[in-house]
Chains A and B, each alone.
Chain A
Amino acid sequence: MSAAIEIAQVSKRFGSLQALDSVTLEIHQGEFFALLGPNGAGKTTLISILAGLVKADTGVARVMGFDVVRDYRQSRRALGVVPQELVFDPFFSVRETLQIQSGYYGLRANDDWIDEVMENLDLTSKANTNMRALSGGMKRRVLVAQALVHKPPVIVLDEPTAGVDVELRQGLWQFIQRLNREGHTIVLTTHYLEEAETLCERIAMLKNGRLVALDSKANLVKRLHNLRLKVRINGVLPDSLTGIDHGLQNGAHLLWLKDYGELEPALAALRMAGCEILEMELEQPDLEDVFLEIMKRESPS
């Protein structure tokens, strides 16, 4: 079985900006995958290369085994992209927009699926409304629908929830999760890390055009410090704990622990040093911590 997305040694330069620097990445069929990174990291460039909107300087990109340049017809048929920019064609209604988009993929009698997509994205009541008259959130839904008209096995969503209300976000994710259960591969870029955390199994992180992390969510979170013990104490922190102390936060020491096994010795050390614990909190790291940590670590010195 070919990978849903295969990116090998892909580089792209825009003038003096190295947008992508030898990125290699494989996304399996049926995965729910997150592509994370700060603004300007190269996420959209990478997606544009997959979609054939941008040509890679070097390297190869394939969608469902089809080279995005050589076999562009098959690769584009296999891919549905929800672009980040809120674009629309002001000449047409929602239904016309979706019928036209179907036609571009050679689909003529596609109205059953168009109705289903509109139903799931809560667009049915706006079917005959001109695109111009829709709110931003509604236009975003139409963009999602347009990406799905040809039932692509691979769906890429570039910041689909930017500027979108909570209700749509939930409805959208329910629908996308259903498509994922039905076998579609989903690739997501988002600024909302909690979305990636709840939805995605595997995560890649990009920074300055380079791939800086690629692992399962669980491994990524495990890979750094695992637990943070926040204690506010009466007294001086014993020497044995200063090594794992990461400074004061609102008067509380922030101790980094590898696992739960280190919790008891830490508390014992505090007791032996005669410290009284005034407040204590144990924090599990989340994806946001990992993200910030990796981005900080990968900063050019």
Chain B
Amino acid sequence: MSGFQTLLRKEVLRFGKVATQTVGAPVLTSLLYLLVFSHLMEGRLRVYDAVPYSAFLVPGLVMMSMLQNSFANSSSSIIQSKMTGNIIFVLLPPLSHWEFYCGYVLAALVRGTVVGVGVMAVTLPFVDISVQHVTWILAFALIACALLGTLGLIAGMLADKIDQVAAFQNFLIMPLTFLSGVFYSVHSLPPVWQDISHLNPFFYMIDGFRYGFFGVSDVNPVISIAVAALALAASAGFALAILKTGYKLRF
């Protein structure tokens, strides 16, 4: 398995060497979101009785940055390697499709987690936040990062050009994240939009993640974790299947 370990290490080094851009920038963005939104919304919106808006917002921002950065890590790595041609350095060695999958997705998970911890750390001075169930927090964080890392891997593999990955990110990942209840509880939406929100797997991940902090949520966290795990299993199965055939990697 040391081929896999090397791939994982290489992928972590890859974003680690440009950490200002890959970790620093998303942390700063989240901090700006928090400062602006909490200032604007404080007192106007109260989602759960005991939770002030700014505290409600923080887990959403943490989860959103984890989702986006996990996706960005694997998708940008694969598409850049395909564009520059250096993808052959991982295609020539005897790496199995499992090693390939785990290498890229675990690196995405590492980046997502590092960014998530970073966002948490910089927002802590501004909000008073409790932690009710650390296990749920970790479970949702890990599954969410793995899911988005997998989706990024798939996007990178299917895309022929960088703008196709950007389209995947801007027209699918971003809307799904924004509409999943990062900035609001879906309970504050009209009934139609509440129903639509329940079709979004990202909604369950953010809702369940929040449950870990506040002990209250829109949906039972067991259901949420099941939805998230199912989404991960399905996308991982798809990713492994196309990796095994070498679709758009080996011609």
Residues of A at under 8 Å CB distance from B?
14, 48, 51-55, 72-74, 76-77, 79, 81, 83, 85, 87-92, 96, 100-106, 108, 146, 150
Task: Sort chain B's interface into a size bin.
Answer: 20 to 34
A279 to B187, CA, bound (A): 101
Give, as a whole number of angstroms, the nearest-CB distance from A100 to chain B. Answer: 5
Residues of A within 8 A of B92 (CB): 51-53, 76, 79, 81
Closest residue on chain B to residue A103 by CB atoms? B6
Query: Is A100 a contact partner of B10 (Cβ separation < 8 A)?
Result: yes
Give, as a whole number of angstroms, the nearest-CB distance from B171 to chain A. Answer: 28
Query: Is B10 a contact partner of A54 (Cβ separation < 8 A)?
Result: no
Partner of A55, one of B3, B96, B250: B250
Partner of A76, one of B18, B81, B89, B94: B94
A72 to B90, CA, bound (A): 14
Query: Is A55 a contact partner of B10 (Cβ separation < 8 A)?
Result: no
> Top 7 A-B pairs ranked by shortest CB distance?
A103-B6, A104-B93, A87-B85, A73-B94, A76-B94, A87-B86, A106-B2
Residues of A within 8 A of B250 (CB): 52-55
Residues of A within 8 A of B6 (CB): 100, 102-104
Residues of A within 8 A of B9 (CB): 100, 103
Q: Is B223 an interface residue (CB 8 A)?
A: no
The verdict on A146 contacting B251 (CB below 8 Å), with A55-B246, A72-B94, A73-B94 known, is no
A55 to B91, CA, bound (A): 13
Residues of B at under 8 Å CB distance from A?
2-3, 5-7, 9-10, 13-14, 17-18, 81, 84-86, 88-96, 246, 250-251
Query: Is A104 a contact partner of B90 (Cβ separation < 8 A)?
Result: yes
Give, as a whole number of angstroms, the nearest-CB distance from B193 to chain A. Answer: 43
Query: Is A55 a contact partner of B251 (Cβ separation < 8 A)?
Result: yes
Query: Is B89 a contact partner of A104 (Cβ separation < 8 A)?
Result: yes
Give, as a whole number of angstroms, the nearest-CB distance from B163 to chain A. Answer: 20
Partner of B86, one of A48, A54, A77, A89: A89
Residues of A within 8 A of B18 (CB): 91
Closest residue on chain B to residue A86 by CB atoms? B85
The verdict on A76 contacting B251 (CB below 8 Å), with A91-B13, A91-B17, A103-B5 known, is no
Give, as a whole number of angstroms, the nearest-CB distance from B100 to chain A. Answer: 11
29 CB contacts below 8 A, A to B, read A14-B251, A48-B251, A51-B91, A52-B91, A53-B88, A53-B251, A54-B250, A55-B246, A55-B250, A72-B94, A73-B96, A76-B92, A76-B94, A77-B94, A87-B85, A89-B81, A89-B84, A91-B13, A91-B17, A96-B13, A100-B89, A101-B93, A103-B5, A103-B9, A104-B3, A104-B6, A104-B90, A104-B93, A105-B3
Residues of B within 8 A of A90 (CB): 84
* B10, B13, B246, B250 interface centre (most CB from chain A within 10 Å): B10
Query: Is B84 a contact partner of A87 (Cβ separation < 8 A)?
Result: yes
Residues of B within 8 A of A55 (CB): 246, 250-251
The verdict on A76 contacting B93 (CB below 8 Å), with A52-B250, A53-B251, A55-B250 known, is yes
The verdict on A105 contacting B89 (CB below 8 Å), with A55-B251, A91-B14 known, is no
Partner of B93, one of A14, A85, A92, A105: A105
Closest residue on chain A to residue B15 by CB atoms? A91
A88 to B88, CA, bound (A): 10
